[in-house]
Amino acid sequence: MAFPQGIPFRSTSGFVTDGANDSVETSTSNTTNAAVDSASYPRTSAQGNNVGYETGSFNVLITRDRSTSVDPRLAGLHGTNNGPVMTYRIDMPTAGYKAVRLAVGDNNYSFNVTPPGLELFDGTTRLRTLESLPTNAAAHWMDATMAERTSSADWVSNNASITERFLTTILRVNITHPAGIAYLYVEDAATPPNAFIRAKYALFPKTVMRRISQ
């Protein structure tokens, strides 16, 4: 399977033109532009990876097309509408260190997210919170480090990635109401400089090691 893999989230596939590494998630099990039966896994992306929502039901997810004037990756969003946790899955070619990028926000409105928000999992093991803060204005997007980017251009230029080591080939993002997502991206990453320390002290509880390594 080919990496990187980007997933722009919106309502309509043809609303904007996606980049070569991106495969839009619309979850259009119906065409009402809302309240989709949103479980979509497995879907094989044009990049050759099996992806999709593993869980979902009517009235849980709202999909929106927002603007063709912003970067195509930020053109729309999926937002939760109560209901159970939504889980998005990407099957990766290999385990190992992966860089993850994210955009959470709405071009038209400030966007409400409260903890736990978006959480990153390696298979069934929780790795970290990706995003749990609201944006303060329309056309602001939070990145994977929970930094608020104040325009499309700001997000494009400055969005930062986080790097995590995956022991499995299954990346999951849990999205707990109120929350949503505009863009998710994952690619192979180099082994970080502190990897030796992490390995040496691997007997420590994961939470302790995370404090050391961050």
* Footprint of other proteins (CB under 8 A): 1-2, 20, 28, 30-31, 39-40, 42-50, 91, 93
By C-beta, is 33 or 129 nearer to other proteins? 33
Q: What are phi and psi of 102, to 5 degrees?
A: -155, 150
Min. distance of Cβ 198 from other proteins in angstroms? 29
Min. distance of Cβ 37 from other proteins in angstroms? 11
Min. distance of Cβ 93 from other proteins in angstroms? 7
By C-beta, is 42 or 115 nearer to other proteins? 42
Min. distance of Cβ 41 from other proteins in angstroms? 9
CA separation (Å) from 118 to 3, 83, 115, 121, 179?
22, 15, 8, 10, 7
For residue 150, give both structure tokens.
Answer: 């104040």
By C-beta, is 49 or 80 nearer to other proteins? 49
For 62, counting Cβ atoms within 10 Å of its Cβ (0-12 exposed, 13-18 middle, 19+ buried), the class is: middle
By C-beta, is 43 or 165 nearer to other proteins? 43
Among the residues of the chain, which ranges form H helices? 152-158, 195-200, 206-213
∠ at Cα 68 (27, 182), nearest 5°? 45
For residue 189, give both structure tokens.
Answer: 């990453």
Q: Tell me the C-alpha distance between 67 and 145, whole Å.
A: 24
By C-beta, is 16 or 130 nearer to other proteins? 16
- Within the chain, what is the greatest distance between any pair of CA atoms? 53
Min. distance of Cβ 22 from other proteins in angstroms? 11
